[in-house]
């Protein structure tokens, strides 16, 4: 029981902040205290950092060593502020990463991630120009450094495209990008992979050189353990914490080893076996792995000198070595839990916030670099950009040319038992070939009449799908029709029956069946009115006693294209903006270049703004071309303000871009983004009243659809185009308000996501 509670107390203390003060924080380039980081869930955690402490004094080269997958990159990501610890503290250059005034992320750091993380379509010079501008360098400074780095890192011509370089050359460009602005803190994740030994040596010499003055600090990870002999300090990482944090020379001496690999091996074995009380186990282990006497003891001995230094070693099961002050290093070890101060870490010495801090979120040098980079990226992909720009035009052309027109050339089977199908004589009151005249009227309606001799065959042709309908006219049709029309009151049932035309339709296609029905009715009315007139009657007698006056809004014969085009224009512009933006953001993120830009100080808002600027240009071109095609080429009805229509279209495109940002934030790759975009496309088209009136929807869906981005915007555009309404009509301005609200929502989500999501 007592053992349990002391164990608990020990764990509790491990998670407590240790004594620290502002001076010590400032003295060291990096202090990591009790860092705990896990991936996975709380219930099923994959612990990467488990109470890790690290101290990197200013002006040192710190070699971060450990087996593949031990968490080096994760630790570095936390240090540069790209990932958050689950518990523990990190101070970098005197501040906590991400806090105002800390300068981290920012140009004080030079970060070379493990991946190449460069724009393949840029030349070496363009790459360095981009990072140089972000770091606030002038063109002349960039040129100077470029010349030096190309020579020093043995890079090919600066005009060479990064994508055409070998893997090793690309890594060197990546290193050059980190070294370019001579930052205070260089964080290099495996910079020497794929580099020949000669160059590797000169890179190390360069690192030694730049740290000599004490103004530059370097953290370097590598798998080649022995190349870190030139480091001032190495941290050997295993199992989520450091086995040792010490100068290489001292480690070699204390372990009486020839190589650092041997030291690492010995420490690893000690760690494996030292999961119980170290004092008993460690001593036993030392004989097994040949650890010199005294080393293990020294590792567990409290640094009784009690120097007022930071604690960088581990306690508990961890074995660390004492690293008392060297000329520049100021490390000390304390492993006795009793020695731990429980005092709270003093507050950050963050400068007081100025009002302008909250408004000036766009730095001119950052915006210049980002916008230039985005446009350059577009120019390097002219074919793709042309395709993207013309795509909406092609879609609107296809829509206007294919959707909404009346069907023509519908094949109809005809059996006319009354007369031959040749009646060139004009229609007159005593005609005995009225059926033939009626069929002539029908033929003018673009129905293609196919004459049959047997009713059975005609019906069979419909059954087989060759015809949409079969029309059968009886042999005494004309006489029966005359009798029926001239003497309505006394017509014989036989006349009524014989004057009827039997129609057998295929109604599997509702639209075509309705069109055929309308053609037959309308044509008959026209034919019958002409016939009445020929007999001396008023043709209006045969008209519906309902008069359709000139419409207040819209055309006398409205067409579906006019109804659907506003929604289609907005949908096309919206979803192409989604695709363009989410694609651009995901490519940037997955290439790793985004990570790098963020570490060097680019903010989420700047990133979004730069994409907005570049893609807004494309969207404006797309929108204008789409409107020209729809209104000028296809004569879509326009009765209202084209300025309002244009603004609404731009806003919709902008809303699509913002939605694209959200999609790219939520999705890890292009495939997931495609699914999300596709998954939202069809519901939008179905629910927003774009191709079918929302009045026909289930009332619950209809209520829900009101809140979708394109519902009110589409209605608003229809009202402007076809009713000619002005902005002050509620049915118009509500569309603007709705799309504006969605822009704010999507933008807020994106900005918050970029700000707070750090893995």
Ligand X SMILES: Nc1ncnc2c1ncn2[C@@H]1O[C@H](COP(=O)(O)OP(=O)(O)OP(=O)(O)O)[C@@H](O)[C@H]1O
If one asks whether residue 736 binds ligand X (CB under 6 A), the answer comes out as no
Asked if 192 is part of the footprint of ligand X (rule: CB under 6 A), the reply reads: no
Size of the site for ligand X (CB under 6 A): 13
Q: Judged by CB under 6 A, does residue 557 bind ligand X?
A: no
Asked if 41 interacts with ligand X (CB under 6 A), we say no
Q: Which stretch binds ligand X (CB under 6 A): 66-74, 341-349, 506-514, 561-569?
A: 66-74
Shortest separation between residue 89's beta carbon and ligand X, angstroms: 19
Q: State whether the Cα torsion 523-529-533-536 is positive or negative.
A: positive
Exposed/middle/buried for residue 123 (C-beta within 10 Å: 0-12, 13-18, 19+): buried
- Region binding ligand X by CB under 6 A among candidate stretches 69-77, 284-292, 347-355, 658-666: 69-77
What part of residues 524-543 is at the interface with ligand X (CB under 6 A)?
none
Select 65 or 676, whichever has its Cβ closest to ligand X: 65
Nearer to ligand X, 76 or 610 (CB): 76
Write out the two tokens for 543. Answer: 């008209």
CB 266 within 8 A of CB 255: yes
User: What is the nearest approach in angstroms of ligand X to the Cβ of residue 192?
Assistant: 13
Q: Which of 71, 636, 21 is nearest to 347 (CA)?
A: 21
If the CB atoms of residues 37 and 445 are measured against ligand X, the closer one turns out to be 37
Q: Which C-beta is closer to ligand X: that of 40 or that of 197?
A: 40
Q: What is the largest CA-CA distance in the chain?
A: 131
Three-state DSSP string of 240-253: CEEEEEECHHHHHH
Question: Rounded to whole angstroms, how far apart are CA atoms 260 and 227?
Answer: 9
CB 172 within 8 Å of CB 195: yes
Least distance from ligand X to the Cβ atom of residue 252, Å:
23
- For ligand X, the closer of residues 47 and 535 by Cβ is 47
Residues 34, 88 contacting (CB under 8 angstroms): yes
Interface pick for ligand X out of 41, 68, 422, 557 (rule CB under 6 A): 68
Contact characters 463-482, ligand X, x per CB under 6 A: --------------------
Site residues for ligand X, 322-351, by CB under 6 A, read: none
Smallest gap, in angstroms, from Cβ of residue 591 to ligand X? 17
Q: What element of type H or E holds 755?
A: helix 730-756
From the CB of 759, what's the least distance to ligand X, in Å? Answer: 6
Cis peptide before 105 (omega within 30 of 0): yes
Query: Applying CB under 6 A, does 594 fall inside the site for ligand X?
Result: no
Contact with ligand X (CB under 6 A) among 32, 56, 65, 70: 70
189 backbone dihedrals φ, ψ, rounded to 5°: -95, 100
Distances, alpha carbon 676 to alpha carbons 129, 518, 659, 746, in Å: 36, 42, 11, 15
Rounded CA separation 525/439 (Å)? 13
Least Å distance, CB 35 to ligand X, is: 12
Residue from the set 72, 232, 484, 589 that interacts with ligand X by CB under 6 A: 72
The nearest distance, CB 86 to ligand X, in angstroms, is 13
* Contact status, residue 582 vs residue 663, Cβ threshold 8 Å: yes
User: Closest distance between ligand X and the C-beta of residue 561, in Å?
Assistant: 50
Alpha carbons 609 and 361: distance in angstroms, whole number: 10
Q: What is the 3-state secondary structure (H, E, C) of 715-733?
A: HHHHHHHHHCCCCCCHHHH
Q: How far is the CB of 46 from ligand X (least distance, A)?
A: 6
* Local structure of 344: helix, strand or coil: coil
Among the listed residues 63, 71, 191, 653, the single contact to ligand X using CB under 6 A: 71
By CB under 6 A, what part of segment 99-118 binds ligand X?
A: 114
Tell me whether residue 126 or residue 190 sits nearer to ligand X (CB atom). 190
Separation in Å, CA 675 to CA 14, 467, 669: 45, 41, 10
Which residue in 29, 35, 48, 423 binds ligand X (CB under 6 A)? 48
Rounded to a whole number of angstroms, the minimum distance from the CB of residue 673 to ligand X is: 18
Contact 705, 688 (CB under 8 A): yes
Please report whether residue 73 would count as binding ligand X according to CB under 6 A. Answer: yes
Pairing relation of β-strands 331-332 and 310-311? parallel
Q: How far is the CB of 170 from ligand X (least distance, A)?
A: 17
Task: List residues binding ligand X (CB under 6 A).
Answer: 39, 46, 48, 66, 68-74, 114, 759
């Amino acid at each position: 029981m007592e053992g349990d509670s002391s164990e608990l107390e020990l764990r509790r203390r491990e998670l407590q902040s240790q004594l620290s003060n502002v001076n010590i924080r400032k003295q060291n380039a990096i202090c990591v205290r009790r860092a705990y980081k896990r991936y996975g869930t709380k219930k099923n955690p994959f612990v990467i950092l488990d109470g890790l402490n690290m101290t990197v004094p200013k002006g040192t080269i710190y070699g971060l060593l450990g087996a593949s997958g031990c968490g080096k990159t994760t630790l570095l990501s936390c240090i540069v502020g790209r990932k958050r610890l689950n518990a523990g503290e990190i101070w970098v250059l005197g501040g906590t990463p991400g806090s105002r005034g800390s300068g981290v992320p920012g140009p004080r750091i030079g970060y070379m991630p493990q991946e190449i993380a460069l724009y393949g379509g840029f030349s070496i010079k363009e790459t360095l120009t981009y990072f140089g501008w972000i770091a606030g360098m002038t063109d002349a400074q960039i040129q100077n450094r470029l010349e030096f780095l190309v020579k020093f890192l043995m890079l090919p011509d600066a005009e060479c495209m990064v994508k055409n370089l070998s893997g090793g050359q690309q890594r060197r460009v990546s290193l050059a990008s980190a070294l370019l602005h001579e930052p205070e803190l260089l964080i290099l994740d495996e910079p020497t992979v794929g580099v020949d030994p000669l160059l590797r040596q000169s890179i190390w010499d360069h690192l030694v050189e730049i740290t000599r003055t004490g103004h530059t600090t370097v953290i370097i990870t590598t798998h080649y353990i022995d190349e870190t002999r030139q480091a001032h300090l190495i941290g050997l990482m295993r199992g989520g914490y450091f086995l040792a944090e010490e100068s290489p020379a001292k480690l070699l001496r204390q372990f009486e080893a020839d190589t650092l690999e041997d030291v690492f091996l010995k420490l690893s074995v000690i760690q494996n076996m030292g999961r119980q009380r170290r004092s008993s186990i460690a001593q036993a282990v030392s004989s097994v792995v040949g650890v010199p006497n005294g080393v293990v003891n020294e590792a567990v001995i409290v640094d009784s000198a009690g120097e007022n230094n930071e604690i960088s070693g581990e306690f508990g099961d961890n074995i660390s070595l004492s690293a008392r002050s060297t000329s520049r290093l100021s490390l000390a070890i304390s492993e006795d839990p009793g020695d731990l101060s429980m005092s709270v870490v003093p507050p950050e010495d963050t400068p007081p916030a100025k009002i302008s801090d909250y408004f000036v979120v766009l730095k001119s040098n950052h915006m210049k670099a980002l916008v230039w980079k985005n446009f350059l990226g577009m120019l390097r992909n002219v074919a793709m950009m042309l395709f993207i720009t013309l795509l909406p035009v092609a879609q609107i052309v296809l829509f206007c040319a294919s959707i909404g027109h009346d069907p023509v050339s519908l094949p109809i089977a005809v059996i006319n038992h009354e007369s031959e199908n040749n009646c060139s004589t004009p229609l007159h009151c005593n005609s005995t070939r009225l059926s033939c005249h009626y069929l002539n009227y029908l033929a003018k309606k673009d129905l293609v009449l196919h004459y049959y001799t047997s009713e059975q065959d005609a019906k069979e042709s419909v059954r087989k799908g060759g015809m949409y309908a079969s029309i059968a006219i009886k042999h005494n049709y004309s006489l029966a029709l005359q009798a029926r029309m001239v003497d309505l009151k006394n017509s014989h049932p036989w006349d009524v029956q014989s004057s009827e035309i039997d129609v057998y339709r295929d109604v599997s296609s509702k639209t075509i069946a309705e069109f055929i029905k309308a053609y037959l009715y309308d044509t008959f009315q026209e034919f019958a009115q002409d016939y009445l007139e020929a007999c001396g009657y008023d043709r209006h007698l045969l008209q519906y006693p309902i008069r359709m006056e000139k419409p207040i809004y819209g055309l006398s014969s409205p067409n579906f294209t006019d109804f659907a085009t506003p929604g289609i224009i907005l949908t096309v512009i919206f979803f192409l903006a989604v695709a363009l933006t989410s694609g651009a953001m995901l490519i940037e993120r997955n290439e790793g270049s985004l990570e790098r830009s963020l570490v060097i100080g680019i903010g989420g808002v700047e990133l979004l703004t730069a994409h907005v600027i570049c893609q807004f240009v494309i969207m404006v071109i797309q929108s204008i071309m789409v409107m020209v095609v729809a209104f000028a080429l296809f004569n879509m009805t326009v009765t209202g303000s084209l300025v309002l229509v244009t603004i609404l279209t731009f806003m919709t495109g902008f809303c699509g871009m913002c939605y694209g940002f959200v999609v790219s934030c939520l999705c890890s790759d292009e495939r997931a983004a495609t699914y999300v975009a596709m998954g939202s496309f069809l519901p939008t088209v179905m629910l927003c009243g774009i191709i079918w009136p929302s009045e026909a929807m289930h009332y619950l869906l209809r209520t829900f659809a009101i809140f979708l981005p394109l519902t009110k915007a589409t209605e608003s555009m229809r009202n402007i185009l076809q009713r000619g309404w002005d902005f002050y009509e509620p049915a118009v301005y509500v569309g603007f308000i709705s799309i504006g609200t969605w822009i704010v929502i999507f933008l807020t989500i994106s900005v918050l996501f970029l700000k707070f999501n750090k893995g």
